[in-house]
Amino acid sequence: RKEVEQDPGPFNVPEGATVAFNCTYSNSASQSFFWYRQDCRKEPKLLMSVYSSGNEDGRFTAQLNRASQYISLLIRDSKLSDSATYLCVVTAPNSGNTPLVFGKGTRLSVIA
Amino acid sequence: GAVVSQHPSWVICKSGTSVKIECRSLDFQATTMFWYRQFPKQSLMLMATSNEGSKATYEQGVEKDKFLINHASLTLSTLTVTSAHPEDSSFYICSASGTSPYEQYFGPGTRLTVT
């Protein structure tokens, strides 16, 4: 089983739509969780951390379910500028020198 | 704050030659620097972790004699791809962290094409 699994997409949605991405992780010892955004041919950039109680940042809401080892990202009122690949990232404290483990990402295209 | 630069941003080289990529933390001292590689439509894969003044620790399957890493100061790490082959063509990204390895700041990446 892969350490971090995501639906690769692509998700093609119209402007204004609400879209949700899911992610599952295999290492139950993971303590920290993040969503990163990566534009084509660019480096990943931290979008938001994910907390157990769930957290919201403007149009973005992240949820964590530790029991199910499941993380989600909800984007409301999608903008064209939201088009990117969204990477689910978890920490792997018991995996040697790999403190961050990246999923393959889910590609989002917001269409006018 | 927390800006990381990489140079060059892209490079094309011939098979058999060596290429050096620099990673600099511009406004903070990086205790640890990480080197990742990303193939198209794949996730970032950690290649190695380096701490200033000590030898890098390589991930399983990454040849340390092929990918030479030097972390000579708290603001600079270099990755040298020696005797490059077309299969080494990839997007190489570095990141730097201060006190926590979980808080990483990424450089803009270097796209390497080996012909």
Residue B44 to residue A32, Cβ atoms within 8 A: no
At B114, which helix (H) or strand (E)? strand B110-114
CB-based contacts of A92: which residues, under 8 Å, 6+ apart?
A3, A27, A29, A30, A98, A99, A100, A101
* Overall size of chain B counted in residues: 115
The Cα–Cα gap between A31 and B16 comes to 43
| SS3 (DSSP) at B2 | coil
Q: Is the Cβ–Cβ distance between B51 and B41 less than 8 Å? A: no
Q: Which of B45, B59, B102 sits opposite A99 (nearest CB)?
A: B102
Say if A76 is an interface residue toward chain B (CB within 8 Å): no
pLDDT for A94 equals 62
Which H, E and C letters describe chain A, residue by residue? CCCEEECCCCEEEECCCCEEEEEEECCCCCCCEEEEEECCCCCEEEEEEECCCCEEECCEEEEEECCCCEEEEEECCCCHHHCEEEEEEEECCCCCCCCEEECCCEEEEEEC
> Which positions in chain A touch B46 (Cβ < 8 Å)?
97-98, 100
Q: Which residue would you say has higher pLDDT here, A82 or B51?
A: A82
The Cα–Cα gap between B101 and A4 comes to 19
Task: Tell me the count of A-B CB pairs closer than 8 A.
Answer: 43
- Regions in chain B scoring below 70 on pLDDT: 1, 101
The nearest CA of chain A is from the CA of B34 a distance in Å of: 9
pLDDT for B103 equals 79
Indicate which of B47, B54, B95, B102 best probes the interface with A, i.e. most A CBs within 10 Å of its own CB.
B102
Q: Is the Cβ–Cβ distance between B23 and B107 less than 8 Å? A: yes
Tokens of A31: 């303590």
pLDDT for A15 equals 97
Confidence tier at A92 by pLDDT (50, 70, 90): confident
Give the strand pairing for B104-106 and A55-57. unpaired
Residue A64 has pLDDT above 90, yes or no: yes
Distances (CA, A) of A74 to A19, B8, B83, B86: 6, 36, 45, 39
Confidence tier at A95 by pLDDT (50, 70, 90): low
pLDDT for B62 equals 94
pLDDT for B42 equals 86
Closest A-chain CA to B102: A99
